[in-house]
Structure 1
Amino acid sequence: MKTYRSILSLVNHLLFIVLVIPSLGNAELTKDTYRLAITRKLDSVEGMLLLQAYTEAFRRLNKKVELVFLPEARANHYLKHADIDGDVARVAKFADYFPNLIRIEEPLRKIEYAAYVKYLQVQVKNWESLGEYELRVEFMRGSKFREEKLQAFIDPERLTQVNHWTQGLKRLEVGRIDVFVGVKRTIDQALLSEKFRESGIVSAGVLEQIAIHGFLQRHHSSLAEQLSATFREMKRDGTIDEIEMKVMTKVRERRSRTQ
């Protein structure tokens, strides 16, 4: 009887090694859908571009992805506590603040940060030049990169944050702040909308152009390598350019219907 139990125990142990341990080491191979944070609304220009690019990249890898819109601060919280698999678009230094994340080395896009004013004769060419004026500056909460850049040149009593860029533009429109700093493509598109078309808000200049990367939880490291290679392939074969053309056509059609 003891021999039988010993044999049964050995068989169960071997089954655990053969069946369970490999599945733990390759969890992403059996994962149905990856949930990634996106801090741009999915119907915005950047949101549509990122959604289509990531959907195509995951399709090529025979995997599924879901992009979940979250404000930056909330996305940061989810990423820190591994409540979501990753984020689709952050600056390269983002992993410095979140050591539990791994960067997708191939950047999908480049973005420009710009300063916006209303009826002010202000021109800027970088972050430092913004500090030459004694202005009340605002940016969107949750962006560590923008926060560090602005804190280096703007006095704390003149620097504020909002939860979303629409709030910043509204506060700029009514004169509660002098400058709003945001992603150029996002803000430029907003200024063409009916809500802000007559606001008088204009760009004072580009502060910096920077590549943006996707980030994944570290246990998805092999997927990060696969996505990096897939993004390079999508750039070479013209897929990224094709996606951008389709999105911009859709945006122009949508804008013409509202005018």
Structure 2
Amino acid sequence: MSRLFIFALFLLNHVSSTSHANPLTISVEQNNVFLEALLPELLNDVKLEAKIITIPSRRALVELNEGRIDANGLRLRILEERYPNIIKMDEPVLHIDFIAITKRDDIIVKSWADLAPYKVAYPAGWKIFDANVPASTKTTTVNDHMQLFNLLEIDRVHIILLSETIAHSLLKNRTDHPFRFLYPPLHSTPSYLFFHKSRQEEAHKLAEALRRLKANGAYDQLKQQTYTQ
């Protein structure tokens, strides 16, 4: 039984004491352990039910815009201009650093332009990388985040691009890994949950719940616990 399936069952059971006629379906990105820890707290606070799934990033946008799922995250600010039926929860969930990762000691990356000479891989559907990686760069996109590290480890690519939080969560059990995280980040930005416009009321309730968690210190405590496990 997959960890994500168990997580979905936990959410449904955790809030089952308060019924909702039409539970949310939320698609979450792979390996975001903080979001997986945060969502039960938010849903329980506002007495909402949810089913949590993971679908590929690009497809998730289409399904959200068409109303086949109710929410998706984490994503950036840019989506509302491109998808008319999508609204943003008006409280950022997490500030994300997008970084380059390599095995080689001689690679220095301080800007997007520095990627041009190398073979680069990143997650399919991540618009931040589609928009900023130089057109001349030889790129590979994959749907599975761990596959990025596999490509890097067998020298199929020189650099992979990922969010720092997801990279750390994937490598948390590998203390002897050969990978170098390159700083400064290529980009830092707040990230959000996005909702279909028919779920505006739920989006507002969850934003208020998130603000309460930040105000009472529970958010910082949860983040510290998540990233030190």
TM-score range, shorter chain: 0.7 to 0.9
Contact 1:32/1:63 (<8 A) preserved: no
Alignment of 1:57-206 (within 5 A): 57-131=42-116, 134-150=117-133, 153-155=134-136, 158-194=138-174, 197-205=175-183, 206=185
Which residue does 1:222 correspond to in 2?
201
1:168 shift after superposition: 1.5
CA distance, structure 1, for counterparts of residue 168 and residue 202 of structure 2: 34
Summarize deviations over 1:26-80 as a string: whole Å, max 9, x none.
Answer: xxx9534211000123xxxx33x21232222222222122321223133234223
Q: Higher helix share goes to which structure?
A: 1
In structure 2, do the counterparts of structure 1 residues 238 and 198 end up closer, same or farther at CA, with 3 Å as the change threshold? closer
Q: List gaps (5 residues or longer) in structure 1.
A: 1-28, 252-259
Query: TM-score when scaled to structure 1?
Result: 0.74
1:122 shift after superposition: 1.8
Letter of the 2:124 counterpart: R
In structure 2, do the counterparts of structure 1 residues 247 and 108 end up closer, same or farther at CA, with 3 Å as the change threshold? same
Paired residue total: 210
In structure 2, do the counterparts of structure 1 residues 59 and 188 end up closer, same or farther at CA, with 3 Å as the change threshold? closer
Q: Tell me, what secondary structure is at the counterpart of 1:55?
A: helix
Moved over 4 A (4+): none
Q: List gaps (5 residues or longer) in structure 2.
A: 1-18
Bigger-Rg structure (1/2): 1
Letter of the 2:25 counterpart: R
CA distance, structure 2, for counterparts of residue 120 and residue 209 of structure 1: 24
1:192 shift after superposition: 4.0
Letter of the 1:67 counterpart: I
Contact 1:191/1:201 (<8 A) preserved: no
Identity of aligned residues (%): 20
Contact 1:135/1:178 (<8 A) preserved: yes
CA distance, structure 1, for counterparts of residue 88 and residue 25 of structure 2: 16
Deviates more, 1:67-76 or 1:135-144: 67-76
CA distance, structure 2, for counterparts of residue 51 and residue 185 of structure 1: 13
